[in-house]
Structure 1
Amino acid sequence: MRKKVLILTYYWPPAGGPGVQRWLKFVKYLPEFNIQPIVFVPENANYPIIDKTLSVEVSKDLELVKLPITEPYTFARFFSKGKTNTISRGIINENKKQSLIEKLLLFIRGNFFIPDARVGWVKPATSFLLDYIKNNNIETIITTGPPHSIHLIGLNLKQKLGLKWLADFRDPWTTIGYHKQLKLTKTSQQKHKALEKQVLTKANQIIVTSSVTKQEFQQITHKPIAVITNGYDNETSQVVTMDSKFSLAHIGSFLAKRNPEILWKALSELIKENDDFKTDFQLNLVGFVSENILESIKKYNLINYVNKVGYISHLESIKFQKKSQALLLIEIDSEDTRCIIPGKLFEYMVSNRPIIAIGPKASDVEQIIKNTNTGKFFGYHDFESLKKTILDHYKAYQQGHLKTSPIGLQKYHRKSLTHSLSNLL
């Protein structure tokens, strides 16, 4: 008989973006390890990104339990739809002067909705699940955040029922980059810290996506912490024709603080110095792109080389990963982002295209790319080596043998990662 496990998550198809894929894939493979997942989600969630293609991955046999949610973003749209959409996606205008509405929305979001804007769901979800868990003989629950208010539901259930609780952190809580932009009062900061500590000390097991986050949390709790990264899956077989151009592709949200001027400078110089490169180069931008990024690209006279694709489905993004000549992975140059491992990294690694990553030194991403031989990692001051690598890739492209020779990727397959999860359960 399969062990029942109740999974509490906010993001679920038709939600798009990286937040939904981690548990969508775990749920897909858990039955192979004699575990019956039951998924609890909001019935009418206000998802900022929709990707209906992900719905086909949900098994028809999955028990999906839903409860309505009321979200403040719905009401905030009456005042400023555009600003509300970006804030609900965690996109905060940092490089330009913020409008009065932006400042007000951020202050309200940070200080009136702790830990996040979905906190109003905690009480009704707790009440509903107390009866559901008793009636269905469930002994183990998993909560995944952000939004970290989902963990507060788990905290309530743990305190009232004493069941086994695993808390999964896809991102850190109080040290994530945008947390500092929420205009928190000292009292609000203390409340965030207190809630974070409660969750980390009351859960039976903590799961994180990076070793840096594990080290951070070990300063707060003595509870066991397991690192289970995100990963890749066997995507639908697609016949893809490689770009004829020497294309570098960035896939996913390209936010203002990730602006890699070191890259734009290197590309600008290569275009000036090499007529063939000037003819062949193309920059594929797939997903949301900040105006600050586009302005910087214009400053370096690169705008005519840009293929601005915009947001597309996950399946379509896989095509761009496979057909672009090389793939860009950019992270903010900050101590706080050393722990961030974008989910797309693992899909990049199995695309057979070399990765050009720019970010903070001594990060988890740097170590993974090095260990798997899937690309090169650069700090924000490694200009000459970055420029040389791009030129080397271009020469390999001209000769028709630009590719990677990855090693040790199997442990990042979603099924292997689910096996690690099943051992915790």
Structure 2
Amino acid sequence: MEKVLIITYYWPPAGGPGVQRWLKFTKYLKDFNIDPVVYVPENPHYPLLDPSLEEEVPKHVEVVKNRIFEPYSLAKIFSKKETQQISSGIISEEENQNLIEKAMLFIRGNFFIPDARKFWIKPSIKFLTEYLQDNEIKTIITTGPPHSMHLIGLGLKEELNIKWIADFRDPWTTIGYHEKLKLTENSQLEHKELERRVLHKADHLITTSFTTRSEFREMTTTPVTVVTNGYDLETVPKPEMDRKFTVSHIGSLLSGRNPQNLWKAMAELIAENAAFSEDFQLRLTGSVGEQVLETIRKAGLSEHLELNGYVSHRQALKLQRSSQMLLLIEIDSEETKGIIPGKIFEYMVSQRPILAVGPSGADIKRIITETNTGKFFEYSEKEQIKTYLLTSYEAFRENNLTVHPIGLQKYSRKALTGELAKLL
């Protein structure tokens, strides 16, 4: 059985979507004759915690830890709120940023390149050079963000000429928040040069979206393969369905994910349809930006809004399966076309219809359409959104709101691990 070292920052008890991709891959790799070893920080700063995920770490997986210096732990001394927001990926729009947030973003963008985990790069290269040789491991996988993980891979490649696969859960310089980091021209060039070196030096690149694959293929001759995120057959008891017409979003709603026409469509239906007003509930579970909340309240949805905050992955699954409809919202920009949130796959097997809003040409539209799991709309399509909501509500009233998915099997975690195994 071949050993493979996986270098990742996020690992249980970390919460959020970043941890689940490789937690699930390690669960199934042994079925394909691959023995995973996972390298993680010993003392990380995780913005979200979900201790329940520790129960899912396979017993056969060896986890190797090494200490890390975390600047976010120092930043908390000056401003706990802004530190928590930025480390969670929630960045306010320019006009709503206070001086502390502006200063922290400038420091984060220009002094911590590629990210705040940069201080783990050199110690990890030194530690792992000896570890890999002692344990006769010939293949490594780095997964980012944080993209410092890829620089660890780059250093090991140059030191040992080891086989190296770089897994990009999100893009690097084209990710939505990159332009908000107040980068100087020199910092922008440094990011691009580091990205270029990683893309050229890795033996194989993995992306989670088709758009990012296309972007990378224009930048390098290194082979690029799409291995999306997926769903697992979770053993969560089927919950009782909500009695209200609950439309739920599970996960972070960053300030840029703010489809005003969606909120307006909901508000108009409430004003025009007494029954809809009586039954409708908007449920947001996870971190929500203040600007998003302000827009929702201005639309007149306060009385219909339920805010839950962050919940465990297990509880998130229950909320998905008990809701009447599920919201999937992506930022309306060219840079986010290739973002495929991990939750879309859990949405698809929840047997609840998806209402997705995002940019023109989004990869999520392709997946939702192919699997027949809901409808996708662009930000401008208020009347179409309104019609879909009303049609879905009428089906709910008739106890007939459901979906009939097709072709989901290829997105199962085990099937995707098989695709990964072929690269190894």
User: Would you say 1:376 and 2:375 are equivalent positions?
Assistant: yes
User: 3-state DSSP class of the match of 1:358?
Assistant: strand
Displacement of 1:101 in angstroms is 1.4
Give the CA deviation at 1:229.
Answer: 0.3
The CA deviation at 1:269 is 0.9
Q: Which amino acid aligns with 1:323?
A: S
Taking the aligned partners of 1:61 and 1:272, their CA distance within structure 2 comes to: 57
Comparing 293-302 and 61-70, the one that deviates more: 293-302
Q: Deviation at 1:96? A: 4.2
Q: How does 1:296-311 map to 2 (within 5 A)?
A: 296-311=295-310
Q: Provide Cα deviations, 1:129-158, integer angstroms capped at 9, x if missing partner.
A: 000000000100000000000000100100
Please name the residue that 2:15 is paired with: 16
CA contact (8 A) 1:95 1:292 kept: no
Separation in structure 1 between the aligned mates of residue 120 and residue 71 of structure 2, nearest angstrom: 11
- Is the Cα contact below 8 Å between 1:243 and 1:325 reproduced in 2? yes
2:166 matches 1:167: yes
1:54 maps to: 53
Please give the secondary structure, in 1, of the residue aligned with 2:77: coil
State the AA in 2 paired with 1:283. Answer: L
Q: Which runs of 5+ in 1 are unaligned?
A: none
Does the alignment pair 1:117 with 2:123?
A: no
1:210-265 Cα offsets, whole Å, 9 max, x none, are 01000111111001000000000011231300000011001101111111111111
1:94-121 CA-partner distances (Å, limit 9, x unpaired): 1543222111111111111110000010
Deviations 1:358-402 (A, max 9, x none): 000111100000000000000011111111110000010000010
SS state at 1:77 partner: helix
Name the SS of the counterpart of 1:219 in structure 2.
helix
1:364 aligns with 2:363: yes
Q: CA deviation at 1:404?
A: 0.3
* Counterpart-to-counterpart distance in 2, 1:25 and 1:55: 12
Deviation at 1:93, TM superposition (A): 1.3
**Residue pairs, 1:129-148, within 5 angstroms:** 129-148=128-147
Instruction: Letter of the 1:348 partner, please give it.
Output: Y
Whether contact under 8 Å (1:294, 1:303) holds in the other structure is no
The alignment's C-alpha RMSD in Å is: 0.8
What letter corresponds to residue 407 of structure 2 in structure 1? G
Aligned to 2:323: 324
CA distance in 2, matches of 1:255, 1:154: 30
- Letter in structure 1 aligned against 2:345: F
Q: Give 1:334-353 correspondences, 5 Å limit.
A: 334-353=333-352
Once residues 202 and 297 of structure 2 are traced to their aligned partners in structure 1, the CA distance between those partners, rounded to angstroms, is 49
Distance 1:375 1:95, change over 3 A: farther
Say which SS state the counterpart of residue 44 (structure 2) adopts.
coil
Give runs of aligned pairs for residues 47-196 of structure 1, distance below 5 A: 47-94=46-93, 96-196=95-195
CA distance in 1, matches of 2:26, 2:175: 26
Paired letter, 2:394: K
SS across alignment from 1:124: helix
Matched ranges for 1:28-43 at <5 A: 28-43=27-42
Secondary structure of the structure 2 residue equivalent to 1:91: coil
Deviation readout 1:269-323 (Å, 9 max, x if unpaired): 1111111101111111111111111211111111000111111000000011000
The correspondence of residues 189-338 of structure 1 with structure 2, limited to 5 A, is: 189-338=188-337
Deviation at 1:61, TM superposition (A): 2.2
**Conserved? CA contact 2:90–2:289, under 8 Å:** no
Deviation at 1:39, TM superposition (A): 0.2
Provide the TM-score with structure 1 as the length reference: 0.99
**Partners of 2:238 and 2:321 within 8 A in 1:** no
Deviation (angstroms), 1:60: 2.0
- Kept after mapping to 2: 8 A contact 1:330/1:358: yes
Q: CA deviation at 1:200?
A: 0.3
Cα displacement (A) at 1:126: 0.3
Residue pair 2:92, 2:289 contacting (<8 A) in 1 also = no
CA distance in 2, matches of 1:370, 1:139: 40
Counterpart-to-counterpart distance in 1, 2:114 and 2:423:
27
- Partners of 1:329 and 1:237 lie apart in 2 by 22
Structure 2 CA distance, aligned partners of 1:333 and 1:384? 18
Partner-residue secondary structure (3-state), 1:258: coil
User: Residues 95, 307 of structure 1: CA spacing in aligned structure 2 closer, same or farther, 3 A cutoff?
Assistant: farther
Q: What's the TM-score, normalizing by structure 2? A: 0.99
1:32 alignment partner AA: D
Count of aligned residue pairs for this structure pair: 424
Larger displacement relative to structure 2 (86-95 or 180-189):
86-95
Q: Which runs of 4+ in 1 moved over 3 A?
A: none
Deviation for aligned residue 1:169:
0.2
Give the partner amino acid of 1:218. Answer: R
Compute the displacement of 1:339 (Å). 0.3
SS at match of 1:78: helix
SS where residue 377 of structure 1 aligns? strand
- Structure 2 unpaired stretches of 5+: none
Contact 2:236-2:314 at 8 Å conserved across structures: no
What is the distance in 2 between the residues matched to 1:237 and 1:182?
39
Alignment check: 8 A CA contact 1:22 1:230 kept: yes
